[in-house]
Structure 1
Amino acid sequence: MDSLQLATDNLEPNLKGKFIHLDVILPLLESLKSVFEITEIGKSVLNRPIHQVKIGTGKTKILMWSQMHGNEPTTTKGLFDFFNFLSNDSEVAQQIKNKYTLLCIPMLNPDGAFAYTRENANSVDLNRDAYLSSQPEMKLLRTLHKDFKPDLCYNLHDQRTIFGTEGFNLPATISFLAPAYNESRDYNEVRLKAIVIINKMNKALQEYIPNQVGRFDDSYNVNCTGDFFTTQNTPTILFEAGHFQGDYAREESRKFIFIALLSSLLGNYENVIVDNELDDYLRIPQNNKRFFDFIYKNVKIIDNSVEKIINFAAQYQEVLIDGKIHFIAIISKISDLEDYSGHVEYDCEALLFNSDRKCFPELGKKATFELNNLTKFNNGLKII
């Protein structure tokens, strides 16, 4: 079975780019009501509806939620692609629906999605509200967890382009975590159940993105949703959709989320050798913060009348303007870049930097400049 082809074939065409909000998914939910059980289960701070999609009749119950952070839509796209796959009558889709009951919240934070912010309308990070449960969206998730009593939880997120896989000069396109349940970050039976599934997903993804699957940091914080649910004895898996080469709209990354979801539900988890599973999990390279979107090398500057050769980096900021996400390249670091890589790198060949008549880059400024007044860069990219 070619999982990447399946992901491509089931791509939801009405979900594109990075601005995915409630008005975009409501028509899709309406169209899925003929095949799945779809229910409005609560409201956001600003009274926007929150829906659940219930799929399958199997014994094993999985609770999954996406867009807990409103500006992290890639897993929402991958989730709807997976809905498309499960809505057909293929043998594999039917097997999944017979084995599992999936309870999916495709958009937990609709207010944040509209504003394209990480937080909800009360400026609270829902993924730091699990223990206190102060926000209506988190109260809803906690209630679902209590009532549904899932065997597994999938916590679906995006991660920034800064992350790579340790030991490889490659982006962390997908990362996973079996969250800790205590400060010592010990491994118990609950955490090991999540690890077994992560290993299955990693094995499947290595066929398509070798060495681009990372292991997220497992620092313990009971306020984090995954950590909290793990302390409640529910195996929980953090999914992080990251950067794939050149894919800033994350139309490729969504396919790898689809592959992860599919592979997690195939086969069985019995008769596993725990020591081997833990070893395999710990061999997944950790995420490291080694990337900038742009690095400019061998740039000549004039500092206090002295010529110098430096390197500097720029990072995109994502800004919502008139209903569209704009990528604004901002100068983020100057020199000391030996341990960093760029998704795009330029050798500037000791040409003189010039921006607004200044012969040196400034932190926080847009990466629009010239070299020797001839070679031009606009918003990070070389244009001449």
Structure 2
Amino acid sequence: MPNYSLYKEESIQGRYINRDAIQPCFDKLSTPINSIGKSVENVDINAFEMGHGNKKVLMWSQMHGNESTTTKAVWDLVNFLQSEDELAKAILKECRLTIIPMLNPDGAKAYTRVNSNEIDLNRDAKNLTQPESVAFRKLFDAFQPDFCFNLHDQRTLFSAGKTNKPATVSFLSPASNKERHITPSREVAMKLIVAMNRMLQERIPGQVGRYDDGFNDNCIGDTLQMLGVPTILFESGHYPNDYQREQTRELIFFSIVEALKTIALDKIDDYKTGDYFSIPNNDKLFFDILVKHPEVVNKEFEAGHSVGIRYKEVLIDKKITFQPEVAEIGPLEGFYGHMTIECVDSKDFGFTSNQREVLDLLLNFNN
């Protein structure tokens, strides 16, 4: 696999990635940039092509404006593909890529899931009520891809099955009907996911999940799978102590490269659909912080109960701050925390200085 450090796009870091942040990346491109349409706020939605092969791949990121990890990975991928690496050359020889780095620039600016009309673009694939949805569909129809990569982030609550390991990366081969039949396009997507999972197990063993495949024909992946195009949902999740998702970004980069390599080298049929189902389902077993014995801090809490805290991501001065909120109170057996705090002494609650916000939250809690 490539040496990632050679290709990481250092100009974009962290969670808040808006249209202005990626303009320098566009400026460095050695390929023409096309506007495929305008957002609600009249911002260009840009796309570009790379490669000249017969296998056509369409990928897009930030359909949800607050899901930026894959956008960073896409620009890392572009740097790799513009290099002299032999694998990059092989991919560009066999594949023709169309890339939309930011489908929802208005949502990216506001750091929201929805667009400026407060519509979730991933629930507008059938109705096509929004200009961003229409622009995407026109590009899809014109390009007629053989494969689609739908690039997203997922919340920190997901575990890889019923384990104490986070789902750092999750995948889905979406269903194309309510019965969730394994159609030919779905089977191809499953095999590509198996290829990526095999690579990731060497890097993050036990930290890959499989996203829920409930059918919804308003979702873009389900719609494209219905149209017979193998479509893969990529979900960037939590890596320990990586709330900026720089480690996850690297793993998504490697995943996309592995998928493109598998396509370029005609290796898809080397993998079995049965291995797709061995990837554990995403479960919801994680809190950002799990506080045990909170009654030591505040007698409002019942003895034997724990407090599950999840962060709310808030945009302040063009940076994302993580504000703790109480999500659940109870025995919370079988749940885990990305951080676990044991309150064991009324004088020393076990909090470090950077956890004072959590302490204040517990002290001020009132049932």
TM-score (norm 2): 0.92
Structure 1 residues 80-89 or 372-381, which shifts more?
372-381
Structure 1 residues 308-317 or 238-247, which shifts more?
308-317
Letter in 2 for 1:39: N
Q: Where does residue 315 of structure 2 map in the other structure?
A: 320
Letter in 2 for 1:104: I
**C-alpha distance in 1 between matches for 2:138 and 2:221:** 15
Letter in 1 for 2:200: L
**C-alpha distance in 2 between matches for 1:271 and 1:128:** 30
Indicate how the Cα distance of structure 1 residues 158 and 376 shifts in structure 2: closer, same or farther if over 3 A, else same: closer
Q: Where does residue 242 of structure 1 map in the other structure?
A: 237
**C-alpha distance in 1 between matches for 2:219 and 2:12:** 28
Letter in 2 for 1:323: K
Q: Where does residue 130 of structure 2 map in the other structure?
A: 135
The answer to whether the 8 Å contact 2:121/2:133 transfers is yes
Q: Secondary structure at the match of 1:162?
A: coil
Q: Where does residue 11 of structure 1 map in the other structure?
A: 8
- Superposed counterparts of 1:184-333, under 5 Å: 184-267=179-262, 268-269=265-266, 272=269, 277-300=272-295, 301-303=298-300, 308-333=303-328
Deviations 1:173-224 (A, max 9, x none): 1000000000011101110010111111111111111111110000000000
Alpha-carbon shift at residue 374 of structure 1 (Å) = 11
Indicate how the Cα distance of structure 1 residues 374 and 215 shifts in structure 2: closer, same or farther if over 3 A, else same: closer
Out of 75, 90, 115, the position equivalent to 1:120 is 115
Runs of 5+ unmatched residues, structure 2: 361-367
Q: Secondary structure at the match of 1:11?
A: coil
Indicate how the Cα distance of structure 1 residues 117 and 307 shifts in structure 2: closer, same or farther if over 3 A, else same: closer
Structure 1 residues 324-333 or 108-117, which shifts more?
324-333
**C-alpha distance in 2 between matches for 1:52 and 1:373:** 47
Aligned length: 356
Deviations 1:79-113 (A, max 9, x none): 00000001112211111100000000000000000
Q: Where does residue 363 of structure 1 map in the other structure?
A: none
Report percent identity of matched pairs: 43
**C-alpha distance in 1 between matches for 2:303 and 2:155:** 32
**C-alpha distance in 2 between matches for 1:244 and 1:82:** 20
Deviations 1:138-182 (A, max 9, x none): 101111111100000000000000001014211101000000000
Deviations 1:14-66 (A, max 9, x none): 1101110000111210111xx22322221100001111020000000001100
TM-score (norm 1): 0.88
The answer to whether the 8 Å contact 1:161/1:243 transfers is yes
Structure 1 residues 317-326 or 66-75, which shifts more?
317-326
Out of 34, 37, 44, the position equivalent to 1:42 is 37
Deviations 1:306-362 (A, max 9, x none): 97342111111000112211110111111131021000001112648xxxxxxxxxx
Q: Secondary structure at the match of 1:380?
A: helix
**C-alpha distance in 2 between matches for 1:92 and 1:248:** 31
Letter in 1 for 2:17: I
Out of 73, 76, 87, the position equivalent to 1:78 is 73
Alpha-carbon shift at residue 271 of structure 1 (Å) = 7.7
Q: Where does residue 175 of structure 1 map in the other structure?
A: 170
Q: Secondary structure at the match of 2:292?
A: strand
Runs of 5+ unmatched residues, structure 1: 353-369
Letter in 2 for 1:193: V
- Superposed counterparts of 1:341-380, under 5 Å: 341-349=336-344, 351=346, 371=349, 377-380=355-358
Letter in 2 for 1:129: D
The answer to whether the 8 Å contact 2:64/2:108 transfers is yes
**C-alpha distance in 1 between matches for 2:16 and 2:352:** 36
The answer to whether the 8 Å contact 2:341/2:351 transfers is no
Letter in 2 for 1:99: E
Deviations 1:245-293 (A, max 9, x none): 00000011000010001101114445837xx712100000110000000
**C-alpha distance in 2 between matches for 1:308 and 1:376:** 26
Letter in 2 for 1:322: D
**C-alpha distance in 2 between matches for 1:13 and 1:375:** 30
The answer to whether the 8 Å contact 1:298/1:350 transfers is no
The answer to whether the 8 Å contact 1:299/1:351 transfers is no
**C-alpha distance in 1 between matches for 2:189 and 2:196:** 11
The structure that is strand-richer by fraction is: 1
Deviations 1:216-238 (A, max 9, x none): 00000000000000111111000
Out of 51, 60, 66, the position equivalent to 2:61 is 66
Q: Secondary structure at the match of 1:228?
A: helix
**C-alpha distance in 2 between matches for 1:125 and 1:246:** 29
Letter in 1 for 2:181: D
Q: Secondary structure at the match of 2:261?
A: coil
